[in-house]
Chains A and B, each alone.
Chain A
Amino acid sequence: MNLKTVLSNVDHACRKFPLRILGHPFKAFEEMKTEHMGSMGFCVFVLFLSCLLNVLEYVYKGFLVNYNDRYEVSTLYLMLVTAFPVALFVTGNWSVTTLLNGKGKFHEIFMVTMYALFPFCVLRIIGLILSNVLLLDEMAIVNAINGIGVAMFVLYLFIGLVVIHDYSFFQGVGMLLLTVFAILVIVFILMLGFSLVADVWDFLRTVWRELRLKF
Chain B
Amino acid sequence: MKRIIAVICAALTVLSCLAYAQDGYSGSSNYLYDSNGKAVPAPPAYIHERSYMACDFEEINNLKAMRSACAKNGKIYISCTSQLIIMTEEFEVLYVSADYTGLDGGKTSFDSNEGIFVTDDGDYYICEPNRSRILHFSAENELIRILAEPGITGVDAAVKYRPTQIVVDDAGRLFVVAKGMYEGIVQLNPDGTFANFYGVNEVQFNLWDLFWRSVATSTQRSKQSLWLPTDFTNLCIDSDGFIFATVQSSSAAESVMRLNAKGENILRVDDDDVFPCGDLWINQVTSTGAPTGASEFVAVDVNDFGVYICLDTTRSRVFAYNEDGKLLFIMGGPGNREGYFRGPVDVDFLEDRIMVIDSTAESIEVFAVTDYGRALMNAVRTQYEYDYAAAEVYWREALAYNQNLFLAYSGIGRVMLREGDAEGALEYLKLGDDRKYYSKALEKVRNATLKQYLIPVAIGVIVLIAALKILVSVGRRSKQRRRKA
Q: Are A64 and B438 in contact (CB under 8 A)?
A: yes
On chain B, the residues within 8 Å of A63 by CB distance are 430, 435, 438
Alpha-carbon distance A136/B443, docked complex (angstroms): 10
Alpha-carbon distance A144/B257, docked complex (angstroms): 37
Q: Are B435 and A136 in contact (CB under 8 A)?
A: yes
B442's partner among A64, A67, A69 (CB-CB below 8 A) is: A64
Alpha-carbon distance A182/B430, docked complex (angstroms): 45
Q: Are A69 and B438 in contact (CB under 8 A)?
A: no
Chain B 441-475 interface residues, beta-carbon cutoff 8 Å to A: 442-443, 446
Contacts known (A64-B442, A69-B36); A136 close to B430, Cβ less than 8 A: no
What is the minimal beta-carbon distance from B276 to any residue of chain A, in angstroms? Answer: 20
The answer, yes or no, to whether B436 is at the interface (CB within 8 Å) is: yes
The answer, yes or no, to whether B13 is at the interface (CB within 8 Å) is: no
The answer, yes or no, to whether A200 is at the interface (CB within 8 Å) is: no
The answer, yes or no, to whether B284 is at the interface (CB within 8 Å) is: no
On chain B, the residues within 8 Å of A135 by CB distance are 439, 442-443, 446
On chain B, the residues within 8 Å of A133 by CB distance are 446
Q: Are B439 and A136 in contact (CB under 8 A)?
A: yes
Alpha-carbon distance A135/B436, docked complex (angstroms): 9
Alpha-carbon distance A63/B433, docked complex (angstroms): 9
Alpha-carbon distance A69/B40, docked complex (angstroms): 14
Interface of B (DSSP majority class): helix
The answer, yes or no, to whether A210 is at the interface (CB within 8 Å) is: no
Alpha-carbon distance A64/B437, docked complex (angstroms): 10
Alpha-carbon distance A133/B450, docked complex (angstroms): 11
On chain B, the residues within 8 Å of A35 by CB distance are none
Chain A 153-169 interface residues, beta-carbon cutoff 8 Å to B: none
Alpha-carbon distance A69/B34, docked complex (angstroms): 11
Q: Are B446 and A64 in contact (CB under 8 A)?
A: no
Q: Which residue of chain A lies nearest to B450 when distances are taken between CB atoms in the complex?
A: A133
Alpha-carbon distance A133/B449, docked complex (angstroms): 11
Q: Render B16-31 as a binary contact track against A, CB cut-off 8 A, 1 for contact.
A: 0000000000000000
Q: Are B36 and A137 in contact (CB under 8 A)?
A: no
On chain A, the residues within 8 Å of B438 by CB distance are 63-64
Q: Are A64 and B443 in contact (CB under 8 A)?
A: no
Alpha-carbon distance A141/B24, docked complex (angstroms): 40
Alpha-carbon distance A104/B442, docked complex (angstroms): 50
Q: Which of B272, B436, B439 has the most CB of A within 10 A?
A: B439
Q: Are A136 and B446 in contact (CB under 8 A)?
A: no
Alpha-carbon distance A63/B435, docked complex (angstroms): 8
Q: Which residue of chain A lies nearest to B435 when distances are taken between CB atoms in the complex?
A: A64
Alpha-carbon distance A67/B443, docked complex (angstroms): 20
Chain A 88-145 interface residues, beta-carbon cutoff 8 Å to B: 133, 135-137
Alpha-carbon distance A155/B2, docked complex (angstroms): 77
Q: Are B36 and A136 in contact (CB under 8 A)?
A: no
Alpha-carbon distance A136/B270, docked complex (angstroms): 14
A137's partner among B38, B430, B439 (CB-CB below 8 A) is: B439
Q: Which residue of chain B lies nearest to A135 when distances are taken between CB atoms in the complex?
A: B439
On chain B, the residues within 8 Å of A136 by CB distance are 435-436, 439
What is the minimal beta-carbon distance from A133 to any residue of chain B, in angstroms? Answer: 6
Alpha-carbon distance A131/B47, docked complex (angstroms): 44
What is the minimal beta-carbon distance from B400 to any residue of chain A, in angstroms? Answer: 22
On chain B, the residues within 8 Å of A64 by CB distance are 435, 438-439, 442
What is the minimal beta-carbon distance from B8 to any residue of chain A, in angstroms? Answer: 28
What is the minimal beta-carbon distance from B452 to any residue of chain A, in angstroms? Answer: 15
Q: Render A56-69 as a binary contact track against B, CB cut-off 8 A, 1 for contact.
A: 00000001100101
Q: Which residue of chain A lies nearest to B441 when distances are taken between CB atoms in the complex?
A: A135
On chain A, the residues within 8 Å of B443 by CB distance are 135
On chain B, the residues within 8 Å of A67 by CB distance are 36, 272
Alpha-carbon distance A170/B38, docked complex (angstroms): 49
Alpha-carbon distance A211/B132, docked complex (angstroms): 75
What is the minimal beta-carbon distance from B170 to any residue of chain A, in angstroms? Answer: 39
On chain A, the residues within 8 Å of B38 by CB distance are 69
Q: Which of B430, B436, B442, B446 has the most CB of A within 10 A?
A: B442
Q: Which residue of chain A lies nearest to B439 when distances are taken between CB atoms in the complex?
A: A136
On chain A, the residues within 8 Å of B439 by CB distance are 64, 135-137
Alpha-carbon distance A63/B410, docked complex (angstroms): 14
Q: Which residue of chain A lies nearest to B440 when distances are taken between CB atoms in the complex?
A: A135
Q: Which residue of chain A lies nearest to B446 when distances are taken between CB atoms in the complex?
A: A133
On chain A, the residues within 8 Å of B430 by CB distance are 63
What is the minimal beta-carbon distance from B422 to any residue of chain A, in angstroms? Answer: 13
What is the minimal beta-carbon distance from A130 to any residue of chain B, in angstroms? Answer: 12
On chain A, the residues within 8 Å of B442 by CB distance are 64, 135
Alpha-carbon distance A63/B426, docked complex (angstroms): 10
Q: Which residue of chain B lies nearest to A132 when distances are taken between CB atoms in the complex?
A: B442
On chain B, the residues within 8 Å of A69 by CB distance are 36, 38
Alpha-carbon distance A136/B272, docked complex (angstroms): 12
Q: Which A residues are within 8 Å of any B CB, using their own CB?
A: 63-64, 67, 69, 133, 135-137
Q: Please list 18 pairs of residues, one from A and one from B, whose beta carbons are closer than 8 Å in the complex, sorted by A's number.
A: A63-B430, A63-B435, A63-B438, A64-B435, A64-B438, A67-B36, A67-B272, A69-B36, A69-B38, A133-B446, A135-B439, A135-B442, A135-B443, A135-B446, A136-B435, A136-B436, A136-B439, A137-B439
Q: Contacts A136-B435, A136-B439 known; list 17 others, CB within 8 Å.
A: A63-B430, A63-B435, A63-B438, A64-B435, A64-B438, A64-B439, A64-B442, A67-B36, A67-B272, A69-B36, A69-B38, A133-B446, A135-B439, A135-B442, A135-B443, A135-B446, A136-B436
Instruction: Identify the 7 closest CB pairs spanning chains A and B, nearest first.
Output: A136-B439, A135-B439, A135-B443, A64-B435, A63-B430, A69-B36, A64-B439
